[in-house]
Amino acid sequence: MNVIRRWMATREARKLWRNKSALLAIVVIGMYLLTALFVMAGGISRDTCDTVVGSNKLPGFFQQDTPEKRYENATTKFLTKIKRALAADDVGGALKEVNLGPYLAADQTPAQLQEIVDQVETLAAELNESPNLDNDPSMLPKLAELESVETQLKAPLSPWDQFIFNTSICLGTDSQGRSIFFRGIYSIKIAIQIGLVTALFSVALGAFLGAAAGYFGGWVDHVVVWIYTTFSSIPNLVLLVVLAYAFTNSAAKDTLLPVYIAFGATFWIGTCRVIRGETLKLKEMEYVHAAQTAGFGPLHILLRYIIPNTAHLMLINFSLLLIAAIKSEVILSYLGFGVKNQPSWGIMIRDAGNNGDVVGGFFWEIGFATVLMFGLVLAFNILSDALQDAFDPKHV
Amino acid sequence: MWAFIIRKLVYNIPVYLAIVMLLMILLRQRDPVAGMLGKNATKQDYINKRAELELDKPFLAQYGKLIWSIVTLDFSQDVWTEPGVTVGEKLRKAVPRSLALTVPALVITTVISIFIAMLSAFNRGRWIDKLLVFFAVLGMSVSFLVYIIFGQYFGAYKLQQWVGTPVFSIHGYEPGIMNWAFYMLLPVLISVIVSMGYDTRFYRAVMVEETQADYITTARAKGAPQSKVMFVHMLRNAMIPIVTRVMITLPFLVTGSILLEEFFGIPGMGYVLLSAIRNNDFPVVEGFTAVFAGLFILSIIATDILYAVFDPRVRLQ
Nearest by CB: B205 against A353, A382, A396: A396
Q: Which of A57, A34, A47 is nearest to A180 (CA)?
A: A57
CB contact under 8 A, B141 and A377: yes
Distance from CA of B177 to the nearest CA of A (A): 29
Residues A281 and A306 both lie in one domain: yes
3-class secondary structure, A174:
coil
A25/A176 Cα distance (integer angstroms): 35
> What is the separation of C-alpha A246 from the centre of its chain, rounded to a whole number of angstroms?
23
Residues on chain A bordering chain B, Cβ-to-Cβ distance under 8 angstroms: 226, 229-235, 237-238, 241-243, 245-250, 327, 330-331, 334-335, 345-346, 349, 352-353, 358-359, 366, 370, 373-374, 377-378, 381-382, 385, 395-396
In-domain check, residue A135: yes
Of A110, A139, A162, the last residue of a domain is: A162
Residues A156 and A284 both lie in one domain: no
Residues A371 and A242 both lie in one domain: yes
A54/A73 Cα distance (integer angstroms): 9
In-domain check, residue A342: yes
What was the ipTM of the complex prediction?
0.85
Residues A35 and A132 both lie in one domain: no
**Overall average pLDDT of the B73-91 stretch:** 83
For an interface test with B, give the residue of A20, A21, A230 to mutate (most B CBs within 10 A). A230
Percent of chain A with pLDDT over 70: 98
Residues A22 and A122 both lie in one domain: no
Amino acid at B65: K
Per-residue pLDDT of B38-65, as tens digits, reads 777 788 888 888 887 878 888 888 898 8
Which residues in chain B touch residue A235, judged by CB atoms under 8 angstroms apart? Answer: 252, 255, 289, 292
B66/B74 Cα distance (integer angstroms): 9
Residue B307 confidence class, pLDDT cut points 50, 70, 90:
confident
Per-residue pLDDT of B97-148, as tens digits, reads 899 999 999 999 999 999 999 889 888 888 999 899 899 999 999 988 889 9
B253/B76 Cα distance (integer angstroms): 23
Residues A120 and A228 both lie in one domain: no
Residue A31 confidence class, pLDDT cut points 50, 70, 90:
very high
B140/B195 Cα distance (integer angstroms): 8
DSSP code of A6?
H
B13/A138 Cα distance (integer angstroms): 79
Per-residue pLDDT of A290-304, as tens digits, reads 999 999 988 999 988
How large is the greatest C-alpha to C-alpha distance in chain B, in angstroms?
86
Distance from CA of A157 to the nearest CA of B (A): 38
Of A162, A189, A216, the last residue of a domain is: A162
Residues A239 and A328 both lie in one domain: yes
B116/B122 Cα distance (integer angstroms): 10
A-contacting residues in B 142-201 (Cβ below 8 Å): 142-146, 149-150, 153, 157
Question: Which range of residues forms the domain containing residue A198?
Answer: 2-50+177-391
Residues A129 and A209 both lie in one domain: no
Residue A394 confidence class, pLDDT cut points 50, 70, 90:
low
In-domain check, residue A288: yes
Domain count, chain A: 2
- DSSP assignment of B115-162 equals HHHHHHHHTTTSHHHHHHHHHHHHHHTS-HHHHHHHIIIIIIIIHHHH
- CB neighbours of A358 closer than 8 A, spacing ≥ 6? A352, A366, B149, B150, B153
Distance from CA of B262 to the nearest CA of A (A): 10
Of A131, A162, A193, the last residue of a domain is: A162
> What is the separation of C-alpha A136 from the centre of its chain, rounded to a whole number of angstroms?
41
Distance from CA of B22 to the nearest CA of A (A): 9
A224/B297 Cα distance (integer angstroms): 17
What does pTM read for this prediction? 0.87
Q: What is the pLDDT of residue A89?
A: 81
Residue A75, pLDDT above cutoff 70: yes
Residues A212 and A271 both lie in one domain: yes
In-domain check, residue A56: no
Which residues in chain B touch residue A378, judged by CB atoms under 8 angstroms apart? Answer: 137-138, 141
Nearest by CB: B23 against A234, A248, A249: A234
Residues A335 and A253 both lie in one domain: yes
Q: What is the pLDDT of residue A224?
A: 93
- CB neighbours of B309 closer than 8 A, spacing ≥ 6? none
A-contacting residues in B 92-151 (Cβ below 8 Å): 137-138, 140-146, 149-150
CB contact under 8 A, B22 and A234: yes
In-domain check, residue A170: no
In-domain check, residue A313: yes
Q: What is the pLDDT of residue B206?
A: 87
In-domain check, residue A238: yes
A60/A72 Cα distance (integer angstroms): 19
User: Domain containing A344 — which CATH number?
Assistant: 1.10.3720.10
In-domain check, residue A312: yes
Residues A145 and A212 both lie in one domain: no
**Overall average pLDDT of the B172-179 stretch:** 81
Residues A300 and A258 both lie in one domain: yes
A383/B141 Cα distance (integer angstroms): 12
Distance from CA of B52 to the nearest CA of A (A): 23
Q: Which residue did the predictor score with more confidence, A78 or A262?
A: A262
Residue B202, pLDDT above cutoff 70: yes
**Any idea which of A18-22, B103-107, B199-203, B313-317 has the lowest mean pLDDT?**
B313-317
Q: What is the mean pLDDT of chain B?
A: 86
